[in-house]
Amino acid sequence: MTLDLDIAVRRDSFALSVQLSVGAGEIVAVLGRNGAGKSTLLGALAGLLRPSTGRISLSGRVLTDVAAGVHVPPHLRGIGLLAQDPLLFPHLTVAANVAFGPRSRGISRSAADELASRLLSDVDAAEFASRRPGQLSGGQAQRVAVARALAAAPDLLLLDEPLAALDVDAAPALRTMLRRVLRDSGRTALLVTHDPLDALVLADRVVVLSDGEIVEQGETRAVLSRPRTAFTARIAGLDLVSGHFGPSGLVVDDFVISGHVPAPIADGAPAVAVFAPAAVAVHVEPPGGSPRNVFGAVVGGLEPHGDLIRLRVSRAVDGPSWVDGLAADLTAAAVADLGLEPGVRVWLAVKAAEVALHPVAGGS
Ligand SMILES: Nc1ncnc2c1ncn2[C@@H]1O[C@H](COP(=O)(O)OP(=O)(O)OP(=O)(O)O)[C@@H](O)[C@H]1O
């Protein structure tokens, strides 16, 4: 199902103006800080808000057309929402929660029960089928909410910060599960998040929203690893290296980057190494000992970053090309002590414990 949207929404002093298309089976992440307009965009799509101008269509079916006076109500849009809060019916069992959507579409009880049980096993929640929502952890309830959203067979699935309410231990497994079920079901989906990791793992493409406007968009890895605007660089706030997963880590050209693997990755699958610029140590001589991850580069630029200085590197003539754009955060004193300025040869070192390896969208 293809989504085409070109709308403007006014909310008091805030204005959102977005033009966006999402292809059939594509997963697009909308990334933005608090107040960027992400919820406003979702509200307009879901039919909860009326744009002041514009048009929204889903596979040619017009959902909103302000000029023509068309505004299809939320429940008739064929759009499913998975929110931060699972919002399960507390008085129904897990299985009945999932079967509720199909039942209200007129599907027979036995077919709806069968669908619910298949979807619950897809999200690894089959064992909770006869429990009530009050007897589930946050992560378990969110799995059930995913099954319920899929059971409604929406033409478009909206995911509104689906992992934001989960604790850090539950989020990676749920992220991996979401990635699997979204790919397997071939769903067209729009994911709203402020977490670049969600975008990386789940989305094919990312759209960066700032002050109600799209400031950058493109293939997720490309946008996050080589942000073209300072705004995206700040929001991404991460160092990213793309490669393939191998037995000793991320293989990129003839380098291997070691790191920890929060959720399983298939051998040979496209993956990324992610680390914080603050975890990067900068040396002006090759570091001694045998630290695992050391990359040669030259200083590209220096810019203030809060109380620190953010250094961006470029490739050295004899060094790997993929270091281009990596960032390291240092104190002003360290920058002065090391004599760092554009063109200076440096070695970046990152401990394996500070590097996380993640599968990326498009991979198996
Ligand atoms: N009901 C409302 N009436 C008027 N203005 C609103 C309303 N709700 C939100 N706004 C304003 O619209 C702007 C965008 O808010 P929105 O909730 O869409 O941002 P967001 O990107 O979803 O932020 P967050 O990540 O904090 O949820 C903000 O400036 C907000 O103050």
- Evaluate if residue 274 carries a pLDDT over 80: yes
State the pLDDT at residue 135. Answer: 95
State the pLDDT at residue 75. Answer: 87
- Evaluate if residue 264 carries a pLDDT over 90: no
Q: In whole numbers, what is the pLDDT of the chain averaged over residues?
A: 90
State the pLDDT at residue 132. Answer: 96
Is residue 361 classed as helix, strand or coil in its secondary structure? Answer: coil
Provide the whole-model pTM.
0.79
Report ipTM (2 d.p.).
0.92
H-state helical runs in 47-170 = 94-104, 109-122, 138-151
Per-residue pLDDT band at 176 (split at 50, 70, 90): confident
Worst-scoring range by mean pLDDT, 220-234, 256-270, 326-340?
220-234
- Ligand 1 center from residue 157 Cα (angstroms): 21
pLDDT tens column, 7-63: 999 988 999 999 999 999 999 999 988 889 999 999 999 999 999 999 999 999 999
Task: Tell which atom from ligand 1 comes closest to the C-alpha of 212.
Answer: 14
- Evaluate if residue 311 carries a pLDDT over 90: yes
Task: Tell which atom from ligand 1 comes closest to the C-alpha of 43.
Answer: 18
In the DSSP assignment, the letter for residue 277 is: G
State the pLDDT at residue 363. Answer: 45
- Ligand 1 center from residue 11 Cα (angstroms): 8
Task: Tell which atom from ligand 1 comes closest to the C-alpha of 13.
Answer: 5
Q: Which residue matches tokens 């008739």?
A: 76
DSSP labels, 153-212 = --SEEEEESTTTTS-TTTHHHHHHHHHHHHHHHT--EEEEES-HHHHHHH-SEEEEEETT
Task: Assess whether the C-beta atom of 43 lies below 6 angstroms from ligand 1.
Answer: no
State the pLDDT at residue 291. Answer: 62
Task: Assess whether the C-beta atom of 35 lies below 6 angstroms from ligand 1.
Answer: yes
Q: Which amino acid is at 340?
A: L
In the DSSP assignment, the letter for residue 300 is: E
What the block records as the tokens of 157 is 């699935």
Buried b (16+ CB within 10 A) or exposed e, 200-221: bbbbbbbbbbbebebbbbbebb
Task: Assess whether the C-beta atom of 10 lies below 6 angstroms from ligand 1.
Answer: no
Per-residue pLDDT band at 290 (split at 50, 70, 90): low
Task: Assess whether the C-beta atom of 38 lies below 6 angstroms from ligand 1.
Answer: yes
